[in-house]
Chain A
Amino acid sequence: MPEIKVTPLGAGQDVGRSCILVSIGGKNIMLDCGMHMGYNDDRRFPDFSYITQQGRLTEFLDCVIISHFHLDHCGALPYMSEMVGYDGPIYMTHPTKAICPILLEDFRKITVDKKGETNFFTSQMIKDCMKKVIPLNLHQTVQVDDELEIKAYYAGHVLGAAMVQIKVGSESVVYTGDYNMTPDRHLGAAWIDKCRPDILISESTYATTIRDSKRCRERDFLKKVHETVERGGKVLIPVFALGRAQELCILLETFWERMNMKAPIYFSTGLTEKANHYYKLFITWTNQKIRKTFVQRNMFEFKHIKAFDRSYIDNPGPMVVFATPGMLHAGLSLQIFRKWAGNEKNMIIMPGYCVQGTIGHKILNGQKKLELENRQTLEVKLQVEYMSFSAHADAKGIMQLIRMAEPRNMLLVHGEAKKMEFLKDKIEQEFSINCFMPANGETSTVATNPSVPVDISLNLLKREMALGGPLPDPKKPRTMHGTLIMKDNCVSSLIFFSDFGCPWLEHQLRFTCRVQLQDAHSDSDTHIRIYTHLKSVLKGYTIQHLPDGTVMVESIVIKVSSSPEEPNTKVLLLSWSYQDEDLGSFLSTLLKKGLPAALSSM
């Protein structure tokens, strides 16, 4: 039976890194290539030894697809392509291709320069890796080769995030990456058509949560900012680029307007440059017929938000500042932080994940004293707030997505099976489909029922029509016999025969089969024994024992041979033509069972 195999790479129960292998129709695809942010050693990389024990991956993979720019989905890509070795195509959307290298370089700098690690990719490797990237547009089918095609769908979540459909022949798989089903202000919600893939692959991490509403998260953010400003404090919000930050800006602007607030709000100029870049990506990306459910406004026309100047850091009184970089590991946001950390009236709001080794990571772990490069210590007295604004699907969202795509099977990665049984039952009950939950390193095999598209040659058609007679009735199908030749689960050719009595049969097809028997008799005795056995079993068939020893049943030929080294092992060679296929199969199965011991010779 044809089948699709899915293996999430990784070990045990660890979540926090995505790298999934899919084998479909003879093709091997790697979905995402994430870094595990919790480890400092080689465990943070996916374990590629599953693919091959040593050497490059190029010949084992047909392509690599990256769903979005978060490091737990793309962080190990340069390691995989340049240090392990892969020269094939890497697919991702345009915004992902633009943003990935920036994040990877930041990440590399922190890991190598700040933490002093050695087994890590270099700046040049990031560049070389990105040269292998082929960008994808939404809803556009891309031919990876003659048989493999892929298509990207909108996932929401972050700029450029995509869900991907992978198709070989009539078999297909959809991988969701990270996505959200409730629209948020600037990115909207994921969407896919009723593509009915054989398997829908999704993360199980959020499958058992029910998300707090967006408005409560926003309320909390406004409340914290408002409280700080009211007591005369300053609020620092380190951000990566004007993406999620844009939502917060719109929020603050509306609130400031409504409450007639006077305190100034700034964003740093570095942010403006990045924002321009981001804005261009954003416009071209979302112009592709995305649902327009989110607020459309010019990202830069804020009444209350102004450009920041370094000299304002020491200005007295309350203010709110958006500054890069997002993890406080360098630059302006760190500079501001150092000035403001010592005052308990101030606040820092971290809107996202911070990599280990950064100051952001340390203060989110509650560290109150920081050691800086110049041996100075910094006391952290300001209020630290960790707020997550990232848009993720939850239990309800997964059900919605399944309803949209109508997959034949569901597969959830990165979950503990015993903690997911309820969800599995729910999916199986509501949709009557199987739900697979492979552990990391474990392969799930999903049987498929591919349809085989059939063409007919022009000659055959012409000859058929030349036979004359009435035109065929489309309501009365005519049976034709044919043979499907498959290799490695791929259809390599289909040969047609017409029904009986057709004068222009051109192809001859013979099957051969070897059956091994343990038999101590001589070859010629074995021939006789076979003849006798078949004569008693197959009554009504023409069975002959030819002078050279060969036994024939109808047109099926059975010949016995043995090698001098192993006289007790006989090899029966069976050969039959296409027309006697049924009988031939029957005989081979029968003879595999061996010959009865007591056979009277005739």
Chain B
Amino acid sequence: MYEISSDENEFEDWFIESLKIYSNIHEYQLEHPTRVIEWTGEKNVCVAGYNLSKNEILELLLPLKLFADDNQGLCAERDFKVVHGGFTDGSIHCLKHIPGTRCVVTNDGSSSKLQVWDVGGDDCDVIKKTGDIHLKTASLDKGVKIDSPLTGNASVLHGSQVNDIQLTELTSGTPLYTLGTDIPDVLSSLRFVSGSVFLACSVNGDVYVGDTRSPSYLQKSPAGGREGNHWCMGVRADSSLPEPSSCSVARLSSSCQAVVSDLRNLKSPVCQAQLNVQRKTTSDEFLIVTWAPALDNCLAVSGFDGMVQIYNTASWRPELMEFQPIFIHRGHMMSDAHFDTSSSVVTTHVWHPSRPWTVLSAAGDGSVHVWDWVDNTTASSKSLA
């Protein structure tokens, strides 16, 4: 027998463990890494490169085997299909799909220009740029955050700071709404919770609530002196309701604290936790927190290292305590070729909109994983069989 290094042992351990902890897992290697994964359909996602110069935008079809459910055995199709592709001259830091259209909007993270793209239909596989939107932003070198209303005409909400948040109509470029305020705080997240109500999270942790129907409306909930230089936000709204009656807001800090609040009372958090994370990277640019759309109290965080961690907030308390994740995805750290566990950082992750346990994650080495994790903690968990 030949000598096995400890790295290989770690990989083998994870490989064996993966038989039990995932019901499905697929791993892909893109030519260039992505920091965006955006749903453009039930089975389609868009990814894009973030090199300084030329990059590709790709629309990928997820493996059919994943969706075969009862007939999974008879479907051998495990690969991604590149259904549409295009080229960009710059980096892509932010990519948003406009619901009800075949349109996506992108920003390069260092300028105030938005690019508008037509992803394309059946007759052509090229993603074409249809135009630019030049924004009047307060800061010219920071990237712009983007979101799109859940209903209504094609429009895009954007901003780099609180005082330049604006809603622009897509086809004409006409501003439909401007937030009237002079707060210069830099934005980290922007999220609609209905057709007109949105939340904006600034880098220092303050959350603002705005309504595109009334430009003067703005409600601020400070972070309240909690630890951390950089905060981001994840929002779980029940998009089936026209007005969000309840909406969970999670804020994540660069010092690995998570704070959960309810939209109806943002000032007093419901619960919080110190997450069990050993930071591997000093950069905050990939920090992201998301709620599982089809599970209760399920939160995912990534951007500290090469892992995606999933927490159940039901057991969290109002006072700060340390909690363990209920699931950790380590796949991005387990590199086949080099067993290099140190460098790869997860750049982004998303949940499938309706399949409860399906998550997609991407890392700095170009890997993209699609996984169905097994929740071993609750009684109603999916079993292996």
What residues of chain B lie closer than 8 Å to A394, measured between beta carbons?
Answer: 79
Neighbour of A421 across the interface among B31, B80, B83, B124, CB < 8 A: B124
| Chain B interface category by residue count | 35 or more
Neighbour of B31 across the interface among A388, A396, A420, CB < 8 A: A396
Of A80-88, A98-106, A208-216, A511-519, the one contacting chain B is A208-216
Neighbour of A386 across the interface among B15, B76, B336, CB < 8 A: B76
What residues of chain A lie closer than 8 Å to B385, measured between beta carbons?
Answer: 227, 231
Q: Which DSSP category, helix, strand, loop or mixed, fits chain B's interface?
A: mixed
Contact A396–B29 (Cβ < 8 Å): yes
Residue of A nearest to B84 (CB): A422
Q: When A212-B63, A227-B385, A394-B79 are in contact, do A418 and B125 touch as well, CB less than 8 Å?
A: yes
CA distance A84 to B123 in the complex (A): 39
B44 shortest CB reach to chain A, Å:
14
CA distance A294 to B385 in the complex (A): 33
CA distance A223 to B79 in the complex (A): 19
CA distance A387 to B73 in the complex (A): 8
What residues of chain A lie closer than 8 Å to B30, measured between beta carbons?
Answer: 210
B133 sits at the interface (CB 8 A): no
What residues of chain A lie closer than 8 Å to B74, measured between beta carbons?
Answer: 364-366, 384, 386
Contact with A along B18-37 (1 / 0, CB 8 A): 11000001111111000000
Q: When A384-B74, A386-B73, A396-B31 are in contact, do A219 and B125 touch as well, CB less than 8 Å?
A: no
B126 sits at the interface (CB 8 A): yes
CA distance A422 to B81 in the complex (A): 13
Neighbour of A418 across the interface among B18, B73, B124, CB < 8 A: B124
Neighbour of A210 across the interface among B16, B82, B127, B336, CB < 8 A: B82
Contact with A along B116-130 (1 / 0, CB 8 A): 000000011111000
CA distance A101 to B380 in the complex (A): 55
B60 sits at the interface (CB 8 A): yes
Contact with B along A175-197 (1 / 0, CB 8 A): 00000000000000000000000
Q: When A210-B30, A384-B74, A388-B78 are in contact, do A419 and B125 touch as well, CB less than 8 Å?
A: yes
Contact A259–B31 (Cβ < 8 Å): no
What residues of chain B lie closer than 8 Å to A557, measured between beta carbons?
Answer: none
A581 shortest CB reach to chain B, Å:
49
Contact A208–B81 (Cβ < 8 Å): yes
A426 sits at the interface (CB 8 A): yes
A395 sits at the interface (CB 8 A): yes
Contact A208–B19 (Cβ < 8 Å): no
Q: When A219-B18, A258-B16, A366-B71 are in contact, do A211 and B86 touch as well, CB less than 8 Å?
A: no
Contact A219–B73 (Cβ < 8 Å): no
A336 sits at the interface (CB 8 A): no
CA distance A316 to B125 in the complex (A): 54
Contact A399–B31 (Cβ < 8 Å): yes
Residue of B nearest to A255 (CB): B16
What residues of chain B lie closer than 8 Å to A212, measured between beta carbons?
Answer: 26-28, 63, 78-80
Contact B19–A395 (Cβ < 8 Å): no
B384 sits at the interface (CB 8 A): yes
CA distance A217 to B27 in the complex (A): 10
Residue of B nearest to A353 (CB): B76
What residues of chain A lie closer than 8 Å to B125, measured between beta carbons?
Answer: 208, 418-422
> Which residues 298-319 of B have a CB within 8 angstroms of A?
none
What residues of chain B lie closer than 8 Å to A425, measured between beta carbons?
Answer: 87, 126
Neighbour of A227 across the interface among B27, B63, B384, CB < 8 A: B384
Neighbour of B28 across the interface among A210, A231, A399, A423, CB < 8 A: A210
Contact with B along A326-369 (1 / 0, CB 8 A): 00000000000000000000000000000000000000111000
Contact B16–A259 (Cβ < 8 Å): yes
A542 sits at the interface (CB 8 A): no
Residue tally, chain A, CB below 8 Å to B: 41
A222 sits at the interface (CB 8 A): yes
Contact A211–B79 (Cβ < 8 Å): yes
Residue of A nearest to B85 (CB): A422
What residues of chain B lie closer than 8 Å to A227, measured between beta carbons?
Answer: 384-385
B227 sits at the interface (CB 8 A): no
A140 sits at the interface (CB 8 A): no
What residues of chain B lie closer than 8 Å to A418, measured between beta carbons?
Answer: 123-125
What residues of chain A lie closer than 8 Å to B87, measured between beta carbons?
Answer: 425-426, 429
Residue of B nearest to A351 (CB): B76
B220 shortest CB reach to chain A, Å:
44
B132 sits at the interface (CB 8 A): no
Contact with B along A414-454 (1 / 0, CB 8 A): 00001111110110010000000000000000000000000
Contact A219–B79 (Cβ < 8 Å): no
Contact B29–A210 (Cβ < 8 Å): yes
> Which residues 83-97 of B have a CB within 8 angstroms of A?
83-87
Q: When A258-B12, A420-B125 are in contact, do A219 and B78 touch as well, CB less than 8 Å?
A: no
Neighbour of B76 across the interface among A211, A219, A388, A429, CB < 8 A: A388
Q: When A208-B81, A210-B82, A227-B384 are in contact, do A421 and B126 touch as well, CB less than 8 Å?
A: yes
Contact B19–A223 (Cβ < 8 Å): yes
What residues of chain A lie closer than 8 Å to B126, measured between beta carbons?
Answer: 421-422, 425
What residues of chain A lie closer than 8 Å to B25, measured between beta carbons?
Answer: 216, 219
B218 sits at the interface (CB 8 A): no
Contact with B along A434-478 (1 / 0, CB 8 A): 000000000000000000000000000000000000000000000
CA distance A226 to B124 in the complex (A): 44
CA distance A510 to B336 in the complex (A): 70
Contact A210–B80 (Cβ < 8 Å): yes
A47 sits at the interface (CB 8 A): no
Contact with B along A133-153 (1 / 0, CB 8 A): 000000000000000000000
> Which residues 100-122 of A have a CB within 8 angstroms of B?
none
What residues of chain B lie closer than 8 Å to A226, measured between beta carbons?
Answer: 19
A385 sits at the interface (CB 8 A): yes
A555 sits at the interface (CB 8 A): no
B321 sits at the interface (CB 8 A): no
A383 sits at the interface (CB 8 A): yes
Most chain A beta-carbon neighbours within 10 Å: one of B27, B84, B86, B125: B125
Contact with A along B22-59 (1 / 0, CB 8 A): 00011111110000000000000000000000001000
B198 shortest CB reach to chain A, Å:
34
What residues of chain B lie closer than 8 Å to A223, measured between beta carbons?
Answer: 19
A416 shortest CB reach to chain B, Å:
9
B295 sits at the interface (CB 8 A): no
A384 shortest CB reach to chain B, Å:
5
CA distance A386 to B75 in the complex (A): 6
Contact B76–A387 (Cβ < 8 Å): yes
Contact with B along A386-411 (1 / 0, CB 8 A): 11100000111001000000000000
A337 shortest CB reach to chain B, Å:
15
Neighbour of B27 across the interface among A213, A420, A423, CB < 8 A: A213
Neighbour of B26 across the interface among A216, A255, A388, CB < 8 A: A216
What residues of chain A lie closer than 8 Å to B83, measured between beta carbons?
Answer: 208
CA distance A425 to B73 in the complex (A): 37
Most chain A beta-carbon neighbours within 10 Å: one of B78, B81, B336: B78
B49 shortest CB reach to chain A, Å:
12
Residue of A nearest to B86 (CB): A422
Contact B78–A217 (Cβ < 8 Å): yes
Contact B28–A213 (Cβ < 8 Å): yes
What residues of chain A lie closer than 8 Å to B60, measured between beta carbons?
Answer: 210
Residue of B nearest to A386 (CB): B76
What residues of chain A lie closer than 8 Å to B384, measured between beta carbons?
Answer: 227
B382 shortest CB reach to chain A, Å:
14
> Which residues 216-243 of A have a CB within 8 angstroms of B?
216-217, 219-220, 222-223, 226-227, 231
A213 shortest CB reach to chain B, Å:
4
Most chain B beta-carbon neighbours within 10 Å: one of A212, A384, A386, A419: A212
19 contacts between A and B (CB under 8 A): A208-B82, A210-B80, A211-B78, A212-B26, A213-B26, A213-B336, A215-B15, A216-B27, A219-B19, A226-B19, A227-B385, A364-B74, A386-B74, A386-B76, A418-B123, A421-B124, A422-B82, A423-B85, A426-B87
Give me the 3 closest cross-chain CB pairs, A-B, nearest first.
A422-B85, A212-B78, A210-B80
Beyond the given A208-B82, A422-B127, please list 6 additional residue pairs across the A-B interface where CB-CB is below 8 A. A208-B81, A383-B73, A385-B73, A396-B31, A419-B125, A425-B126
